[in-house]
Amino acid sequence: MSLSRYPEYKNSKIKWLGDIPSHWSIAPLKRTASCNDTVLSEKTPKDALIEYVEISDVNSVLGITGSTTYPFSEAPSRARRLVQDQDVLVSTVRTYLKAITPVLNPPSNMVASTGFAVIRPDSRHLAGGFLGYLLRSEWIVSKIIARSVGVSYPAVNASDIMQLNVPVPKKQEQLIISGFLDHESAKIDTLIHEQKRLIELLKEKRQAVISHAVTKGLDPDVPMQYSGVEWLGEVPTHWKVTRGKMVADIFVPQRNKPELNDSGDGYCWVTMEDMKTDQIVTSKRYVSNAAIASAGSRVLKRGAVVASCVGNFGIASVLSTDAVINQQLQAYIPRGVSAAYLREVIRCSKRYFDLVGTAATLAYVNQEGFANLPIPLPSIAEQGEIELYIEKNKVKFNGAIFEGIKLIDILKERRSALISAAVTGKIDVRNWHQPADESAFDEEVQQAGMETTA
């Protein structure tokens, strides 16, 4: 898709905006829109239900993703901004989140947090669709963030947003621009959704390949026998099926948490936050020998297999450094099995941990549960072959997943660039019409992905 520039431009006299089409005007937002026009009355009946939208319910791409229903008497005190169709919500707190979205056909009882500026277009000057894209353009967002004050909780005054000078094309042209952006954004969002689904399928396939390798082996013709474990099914006849305690010592950390330090001295303090890779090489926090001793804890030597024992099961990593683990983790210290192979068995055994976990408020697997984990056990030599096979497949699948993620980034960048270019007049879409054949766009996006990964 190729879009030309306007025939004539003029200097906007705004550094960040540059030149604009010669027939466009520039005006402070407050001259073409109003802000926070209506609020929920304190005389609202106590039992009146409201649909409350807060900052976490808003995404600049997905729009309003949720709301909470409250009777007025139980609603947060910040639930006061009344909204209507074509308004634009702009978060004035934690502006780095970019929680900005147009309001489209809201229920009559929708109320937004006072953490938003509710900007309402003046229908004489601005179309709601155009305003929605304008306020989500990178140019405007960067100005809102730049005007924010505060480090941990940056905020901006709504009046400062309304002072911003913005480009204003004719109303009919605004409608064409917003129609163009609706169409192009929808196509891009569809492709992003397809890529995300592909990535999830690749992850599922990757895990299926790994699970098959550690439970069935690599030889499709080998004789099989029932393992005696329902969820494990059949295993090769020359394998043993044993328990975790027969191939490893089980370590459960003390409940006393040692005092941590941020100096980088001592041993790594490993938590669930660190359990995202095959090997744990380091962590963000450390603990000293003295703190370990006072807490009655213990240093695990490299080679231990650490696994989650609370909440989400089937998460495991091998320590590549000596470390101390927290109470959300337990460890296997291998003595008759390869650490890497055991890690993959644990990852394939989520169903087992879910079955044996006890739940009060959060599911927990105790030492006995870890000790009795069924282990399909080939010889050390065969374990090594399986590890190599798994590693090769991880490289293949991870490469495909990475390419999918890169393509999603390209698509997001394209959408952002299109919005900014259209609402600032850098491209002329006045003669745009919806093409009958969309295949050219799909081929263009795929080509962009290939060029990026070449």
319-363 pLDDT tens trace:
999 999 988 999 999 998 999 999 999 999 999 999 998 876 678
Q: What is the pLDDT of residue 451?
A: 41
Is the separation of the CB atoms in 95 and 148 below 8 Å? Answer: yes
- Gap between the terminal Cα atoms of the chain: 22
Q: What is the pLDDT of residue 235?
A: 96
How many separate helices (H) and strands (E) can be counted in the chain? 12, 29
H-type helices in 303-379, by residue range?
Answer: 339-347, 350-356, 367-371
Q: What is the pLDDT of residue 257?
A: 75
- Spell out where 360-426 has E strands: 363-364, 374-377
CA neighbor of 373 nearest in space, from 251, 214, 248, 208 = 248
Q: Return the higher-pLDDT residue of 229 and 261.
A: 229
pLDDT surpasses 50 at 291? yes
pLDDT surpasses 80 at 398? yes
Residue 224 φ then ψ, to 5°:
-120, 155
Is the separation of the CB atoms in 267 and 323 below 8 Å? Answer: yes
Confidence of residue 262 (pLDDT cuts 50, 70, 90): low
HSE-CB for 160 with a 13 A CA cutoff: 15
Query: Which CATH superfamily includes the segment(s) 222-377?
Result: DNA methylase specificity domains (3.90.220.20)
**Cβ neighbourhood burial of 392 (10 Å; 0-12, 13-18, 19+):** exposed
- Spell out where 219-345 has E strands: 224-226, 234-236, 240-243, 248-251, 260-261, 267-270, 279-280, 286-287, 305-308, 316-319, 323-325, 329-334
Determine the Cα–Cα distance for residues 277 and 286; give it in Å rounded to an integer: 19
Tell the residue number behind the tokens 């009355």, with chain if given: 41
Q: What is the mean pLDDT of residues 407-434?
A: 93
Q: What is the pLDDT of residue 390?
A: 97
**The pair of three-digit structure tokens given for residue 223, joined into one six-digit string:** 């004789």
**Cβ neighbourhood burial of 58 (10 Å; 0-12, 13-18, 19+):** buried
Kindly state the percentage of the chain with pLDDT values over 90: 79
Tell the residue number behind the tokens 């960040």, with chain if given: 16
Tens-place pLDDT, residues 54-111: 999 999 888 999 999 999 999 999 999 999 999 999 999 999 999 999 999 999 999 9
Range of weakest confidence among 312-316, 389-393, 399-403, 443-447: 443-447
Q: What is the mean pLDDT of residues 422-444?
A: 75
CA 388 to chain centre: 31
Q: What is the pLDDT of residue 454?
A: 38
Percentages of the chain per state (helix, strand, coil), in multiples of 5: 40, 25, 40
Confidence of residue 441 (pLDDT cuts 50, 70, 90): very low
Go through the chain and tell me how many residues it has: 454
H-type helices in 217-257, by residue range?
Answer: 244-247
Residues 6+ apart with CB under 8 A from 30: 162, 163
Range of weakest confidence among 134-143, 380-389, 397-406: 134-143
CA neighbor of 64 nearest in space, from 52, 77, 74 = 52
Q: What is the mean pLDDT of the chain?
A: 91
Q: pTM for the complete prediction? A: 0.80
**The pair of three-digit structure tokens given for residue 237, joined into one six-digit string:** 């006849």
- Spell out where 129-252 has E strands: 165-168, 224-226, 234-236, 240-243, 248-251
Determine the Cα–Cα distance for residues 412 and 424; give it in Å rounded to an integer: 18
Confidence of residue 443 (pLDDT cuts 50, 70, 90): low
Q: Return the higher-pLDDT residue of 85 and 292.
A: 85
Same fold, 22-168 and 222-377: yes
Confidence of residue 224 (pLDDT cuts 50, 70, 90): very high
CA dihedral 318, 323, 327, 330 (to 10 degrees): 30
Domain limits, the chain: 22-168, 170-217+379-454, 222-377
Q: What is the mean pLDDT of residues 202-230?
A: 95
Q: Enter the CATH code of domain 22-168.
A: 3.90.220.20
Residues 6+ apart with CB under 8 A from 26: 12, 13, 14, 17, 20, 165, 166, 167, 168
pLDDT surpasses 60 at 442? no
Instruction: Using alpha carbons, list the distances in angstroms from residue 364 to 84, 250, 254, 325.
Output: 47, 15, 15, 16
CA neighbor of 61 nearest in space, from 419, 445, 403 = 419
Tens-place pLDDT, residues 110-123: 999 999 999 999 99
Tens-place pLDDT, residues 143-197: 999 999 988 889 999 999 999 999 999 999 999 999 999 999 999 999 999 999 9
